[in-house]
Structure 1
Amino acid sequence: MTTMELGSKFVRRGLWLFVFGLFIGFGPWAHYMHGAMEEVHEAFLKNVTLWWGCPWTLAVYDTQLGSLAMVAFGLCFRMCARDSAVPVTATVKMALPLCFYGILGEFVAGYLFYFVVNHMWPDFYFTPIHEGKDLWLGVQGVCLAVCFVGAVMAVRGIDSTLDGAIAQ
């Protein structure tokens, strides 16, 4: 795989993930629309925190932000490919699946796994059931860590490619 091909794959997957992030943004929107029709109780007015919001906001945010980062990485790789012929290492190639699957995993953990955890601990998100919150947030943290490792690998690959271009 060339640097140009790697950059193109980052851009394509990042753009599709961004569109996907916009689509799944309808989940929190529907949650808020439903909540707008409900009566607001005293407890809500005293404790308006993230836990009173939509449980899927983090998954949507991470999908959208991560996808834009992937596009930026891809454009950097493409720019580097124009300026040098530095080969793509196996480590740099791993950055793409780590970023992509880390973002998808965050969606699955944050959006879909929510229903599994909520089945095990009903209303865990809106009540202080720490086991449910710890499990749900822990799995999301693992997915974010996978994406973070991929992002670091991509940045290191871009950095070494730039160093190779300067050396030429």
Structure 2
Amino acid sequence: MTQLEIGGRFIRSGFWMLLFGMVMSFGMVLHYVANISPPIGPEFTKTIYLWYACPWTLSTAVVLGGALGMIAIGAVYATLARMASAIPIVGPEKSAVSICTISLIAMFLTGYAGYFVVNSIWPDFYYSVVTDGKNLWLLLQLACMVAYTIGVFLAFNGIRRISYSTA
């Protein structure tokens, strides 16, 4: 695999994830339009700026931001491919695209679909004081963000290695 090939994979996957994140945002809009939130208590109103009244805000923002990050990483790889001699992409760096893509899909599954699973165990956990439910749900999303960061770190090391060869 070359820099141009991995750059293209990052860009293509990033654009698919961007489209996926935009589709996810429809759920947030419908949540507001349909006003499907249960009655909220005083504890929720204290943290309204954190939660934005919709449980899918965090996962949607991470998927959209992660998609833009993948596009940027791909653009850097493609630029370096034009500047440097062909340096093969080897080792764990080859898996960076897959790790980033899978972690963003997992972010959807834990943040969006996982909300309903956790909500079936702890009803209205998001809108009331159910710290066990919130902690589980947020830790699952944090694990996805950590996985995405590992993918970005692998790409960062590869980009750094290639950029030193151009100097």
1:125 alignment partner in structure 2? 126
CA gap 1:41/1:97 in 2 versus in 1, 3 angstroms: closer
Query: How many angstroms apart in 1 are the aligned matches of 2:99 and 2:24?
Result: 21
1:99 alignment partner in structure 2? 100
CA gap 1:52/1:59 in 2 versus in 1, 3 angstroms: closer
For the residue of structure 1 that corresponds to 2:135, the secondary structure is helix
2:29 alignment partner in structure 1? 29
Gaps of 5+ in 1: none
- Residues 44 and 52, structure 1, Cα contact 8 Å, conserved in 2: no
CA gap 1:46/1:69 in 2 versus in 1, 3 angstroms: closer
For the residue of structure 2 that corresponds to 1:25, the secondary structure is helix
- Residues 51 and 126, structure 1, Cα contact 8 Å, conserved in 2: no
CA gap 1:43/1:25 in 2 versus in 1, 3 angstroms: same
TM-superposed deviation, 1:142? 0.5
Q: How big is the alpha-carbon RMSD for the aligned residues of Structure 1 and Structure 2?
A: 2.2
Matches within 5 A, 1:84-163: 84=84, 85-163=86-164
2:59 alignment partner in structure 1? 59
TM-superposed deviation, 1:34? 2.2
1:67-99 Cα deviation digits (max 9, x unpaired) = 000000001111111122121121211211111
Question: TM-score, normalized by length of structure 2?
Answer: 0.91
For the residue of structure 2 that corresponds to 1:111, the secondary structure is helix
Question: TM-score, normalized by length of structure 1?
Answer: 0.90
1:143-162 Cα deviation digits (max 9, x unpaired) = 10000111111111111111
Query: How many angstroms apart in 2 are the aligned matches of 1:128 and 1:63?
Result: 27
Query: How many angstroms apart in 2 are the aligned matches of 1:140 and 1:121?
Result: 17
Gaps of 5+ in 2: none
CA gap 1:111/1:66 in 2 versus in 1, 3 angstroms: same
- Residues 52 and 126, structure 1, Cα contact 8 Å, conserved in 2: no
Give the residue type in structure 2 aligned to 1:138: L
CA gap 1:52/1:73 in 2 versus in 1, 3 angstroms: closer
For the residue of structure 1 that corresponds to 2:128, the secondary structure is coil
* Worse-superposed segment, 4-13 or 42-51: 42-51
TM-superposed deviation, 1:45? 9.5
TM-superposed deviation, 1:47? 3.0
**Number of matched residues?**
165
Matches within 5 A, 1:62-81: 62-81=62-81
TM-superposed deviation, 1:52? 5.9
